[in-house]
Amino acid sequence: MLPDREESLAAVKDINATYQRSGWGTAMAKFIAIVSHVGPIPADFADQPSDPAMFGLPAEDDGNRSDPMFGGDMSATTHYEPRFDALRAASTRIVIAAGEESGGTLASRAALVVAEKLGQSPTIFPSDHDGFLGGEYGQTGKPDEFAAKLREVLDD
């Protein structure tokens, strides 16, 4: 799908390995780095150091490995390849969305490719990947505008 598919998948596998090796803070720092990265994922992305302190995250490993996102194998979702013929034939409406400020990020680039393969244009939502957040987790998108767009999409 994406031209940097192998590099992206290797970086995601490294996030899981980092979690198992070094704990949540270091893995989350790598996760933030990949979801924030604009453009193709370089081949050496997994080798780049991650500094949890840059994001206000704990650097120490508490030994806990029960995080729902990192505790399992993230590749179960990131390595999934949709059956586009089946999706195009589905009787339900499929809406592929991207954030207006997410251009060039992995999630946005993937959304654009999926929309293209489904023969549609992506629905663009206000803000970025977490545009629905209102500051409760440290990130602030445009929750009111996001909600209005979501209502519009659901009403169609």
Q: What is the DSSP letter of 127?
A: S
What pLDDT, in 10s, does the model give residues 106-141? 999 999 999 999 999 999 999 987 888 888 877 889
Please report the pLDDT score of residue 87 as a whole number: 96
Please report the pLDDT score of residue 34 as a whole number: 94
What whole-number distance in Å separates Cα of residue 142 and Cα of residue 127? 6
Tokens of 7: 């590099």
What pLDDT, in 10s, does the model give residues 94-113? 999 999 999 999 999 999 99
What whole-number distance in Å separates Cα of residue 151 and Cα of residue 156? 9
Please report the pLDDT score of residue 111 as a whole number: 94
Phi and psi (nearest 5°) for 17?
-65, -35
pTM (2 decimals)? 0.86
Please report the pLDDT score of residue 132 as a whole number: 87
Q: What is the mean pLDDT of the chain?
A: 92
The phi-psi region of residue 119 (left if phi > 0; otherwise alpha if psi is between -120 and 50; otherwise beta) is left
What pLDDT, in 10s, does the model give residues 27-59? 999 999 999 999 999 999 999 988 999 999 999
CA 114 to chain centroid? 14
